[in-house]
Amino acid sequence: MVRDLADFPRPVLAALAAAERLLARRLGATVVLADPEDLGGSERSVVARARVARNPFSLPRTLVVKHYIAEPELDRPDPFHYEVASCQLFTALPTEVRPSPVIIAHDPEARLLVLEDLGRSSTLADKLFGADPAAAQRCLLGWARALGRMQAATAGRENDFGALLRRLGERAWRDPVAEDARAALAGLPELLDGVLGVRVSAAASHQAHHTARLLGGTRYRAFSPSDTCPDNNLVTSRGVRFVDFEWGCFRDVSLDAAYFRVPFPGCEASFALPDGMSEAMLEAWRDEIAAVWPDLDDPARLNRRLLDAQLLWVWLCTWWLLPRVQVRDTPVGPDAGRSPRISSALADYWRRLGQAAAAAKGLDATVELAETVTAALHERFPDAPPALPLYPAFRSAV
C-alpha cells in the first residue's frame, strides 16, 4: 500500500524536496522522488530512502538522501564536509575495493547528500543480535576483511583526502578521537583516584603515554570511518560496506584493528566475542593489508602495535565512561537490551588489557594497574556481571 506523503515526518519530506531540486539542477530536468522510507539518522541529520518516480535519465531506481539539519559548531570541523570528502574519496576507487555507497550529488548550501542505495541490508549489529552464530561469525570475518581492504586501498591517499576537504572549506583535519585520547592520557590518573580510589603509578602513566605515538604521523596510516560501531556496517550481497563518515579521518591502522581485542570499544553494542574469534578476525584483516605493509606480517611487531592501541582505547573508554557511573551504573547506550552496563564493560576492558600486557614483556606497571582497576570496579559494583557476556548470536552456541 502506498502511504500518503502527509504520513511522513516533515524533516524527511524536506530532505526529499531538497534532493529533487538538487538533482533537477544537476540533470537539467525534473526528477520526482516518492515512497520515502525513514532510515533514522541522528540529531544532526535525516536519512531516507526514496524511489525515483520520474527519471528522465539513468538514475538508479532508488536513492538514499542524507540531509544535515544541524548547523556546524563554531571552531569545530563540519561533519558534513567530512562525509562528502570521504564519499568522494571512495567513489574514485575501483568498484571491487570501494567500501561505501557512491556519492551521486551533494549541495553544500543545503547540506545535502544523495547516495547510492545499498538496499535493504541487515547491519552487522542485526547479525550479532540475531540467532544464527554461523552468520554472525561470517559477518565479523567479512567486516575484518572489509576493514583491511579499505585501509589497503586508501593507504597513501591522505593528501587526496586533504585536498577534498580544502575544497569544501576545511583548513585542517585530524582524527576526532585524538583530542579526547590526549585528554585521557593527561586526566585519567586523577579520575581513577577520585572515582575508584586507584592510584596510577608513574611507570603505568609512562607506558600509557608511549601509546600517543599512534596518534601522530606513523607510516601505517589509512582511512578510518572513526565510528565503526556494528550498526554502521551494512551486510550486502557484495560484502560488508561502511556507512556514516561524519568523523572520517586518516590514522594508524592499528587503532581500528584493536577493535578485534576490545570489541567495538566505546560503542553501545560492545559485548564479548567467542574464543578464537578475535584471532580469526585478525588473520582475515592481515591478509588484506600484508601487501601494503609487509612488515606488519611480523607477529611481534604487529602484536606490540595492537597492544599499544588496546591500551590507548582502554584509557580513552574509561575517560569517556567512568564519569557516568558516579551518578548511577547505567548501560553504555540507551537500549539496555543491546548495551552492557558501564561497570561490566570497563572491568572487562581492563581485565583483557591486563592479560595482554602480562603476555608481553616490560609492562608490569600496566598489568598491576589493570588488575587494580578491575578489582576496584568489582568492589564498587558487586552486583554487576563479572565479565561482558557474549553477543546474543553466540550465547546459544556455548
How much of the chain exceeds pLDDT 90, in percent?
A: 79
Phi and psi dihedrals of 213, rounded to 5? -60, -25
* Class of domain 122-395 as given by CATH: alpha beta
d(CA 8, CA 21) in angstroms, rounded, equals 19
pLDDT in tens, 96-143: 899 999 999 999 999 999 999 998 889 999 999 999 999 999 999 999
- Model-level pTM? 0.93
Equal CATH topology for 5-116 and 122-395: no
CATH architecture of the domain with range 5-116: 2-Layer Sandwich (3.30)
pLDDT in tens, 176-213: 889 999 999 999 999 999 999 999 999 999 999 999 99
C-alpha cell at 8: 511522513
CA atoms within 13 A on the CB side of 54: 8
Sequence spans of domains, the chain: 5-116, 122-395
pLDDT band at 398 (very low <50, low <70, confident <90, very high): low
From first CA to last CA, the distance across the chain in angstroms is 43
pLDDT the model gives residue 73: 80
pLDDT band at 397 (very low <50, low <70, confident <90, very high): low
